[in-house]
Amino acid sequence: MTKFNFLLTAVALASSVSVASAWDVLPSEAPAPADNPTTPAKVELGKMLYHDPRLSSTGTVSCSSCHNTMLGGEDNRPNSMGVNGQTGGRSAPTVWNSAFNTVQFWDGRAESLEAQAAGPVTNPIEMGMKSWDEVVARLNSIEGYQKAFADAFGGNAISKDTATKAIAAYERTLITPNSPYDKYTSGEQLAMTDQQVRGMNKVAELGCTGCHSGPAFNGPGLFQLFPVHSNGMYQARYHFNKDLGLAEVSKKAGDEHRFKVPTLRNIALTAPYFHNGAVKTLDEAVKIMAKLQLDKELSKEEIADIVAFLNALTGEFPEQTMPHLPATAGGTFN
């Protein structure tokens, strides 16, 4: 069975998820792969690389440009801006709690944070470097990075593999626990308002947890067809069907318009919504999801209750301090 057939089979299992399994507390730590255990030195190096615009061809774009850890982990743009003012066709997903995604990117083309970290650096629209060999040569020319990589990995360790492992190690620390929902689920009955509890119950009643389940509310199914139900008005306004989703990777017609199920954690902070960033407000996104995925018309009161519950998924953000980047001595790269 191929990777994509396996993932799509998993989608079918989502409908069997019990409501109870949706009400999980977010772990305070993310598991790391065996070949990339998290260490303080790796995290510090990854933090530097994540915030360093010198990993882009123009020296103007870093990972944090589109996935801002001083905000909700993205950039609040419909489409993120890369080198030379270029924009892609998708909205940047949040980096917060991305360690709990089973796959990365809207189309799931990366199986891990390490694989995800490699992509944007050499994407001509995003960070625009010609190759990872060019990136490694640039890092090798910066004395401070030579030391930081040696501290994290030992020896002459600068490579694509170690750079992406360091970035992934940093990203695994970007977790937002202790939301009002987490506290409520842990037994603090006053942590959520009555309206938020009504919204949580409505989410379960409607079946939203068939996809948005688990601690990160991103489900076991990984990919989901969107939209399920056609609607000419929404299509004309928001153009959801322009993007083929998973089919862009698998090249299979049956995968068209299937996307990774995004987390609902901190969703109140990550407007605009959907893969193309076409929807500006959370209440409109809730209304659209009910209609296009569940064929349900919600009242204003029901939408307000669900939005209130989604606000209860905003967690506590660990304090982020900007790293001191190693200096480029004696010249520039451009």
Catalytic sites, residue numbers: 126
Q: Which residues pair with 223 in a beta bridge?
A: 260
Q: d(Cα 9, Cα 5) in Å, to the nearest integer?
A: 6
Task: Using alpha carbons, list the distances in angstroms from residue 263 to 27, 36, 143, 166, 177.
Answer: 14, 24, 39, 23, 14
72 closest CA partner among 262, 243, 278: 262
Whether the ω angle into residue 227 lies within 30 degrees of 0, i.e. cis, is yes
Q: d(Cα 220, Cα 213) in Å, to the nearest integer?
A: 7
Q: d(Cα 299, Cα 49) in Å, to the nearest integer?
A: 47
Which uninterrupted H or E stretch holds 285? Answer: helix 282-294
Q: d(Cα 99, Cα 174) in Å, to the nearest integer?
A: 8
Q: d(Cα 16, Cα 209) in Å, to the nearest integer?
A: 10
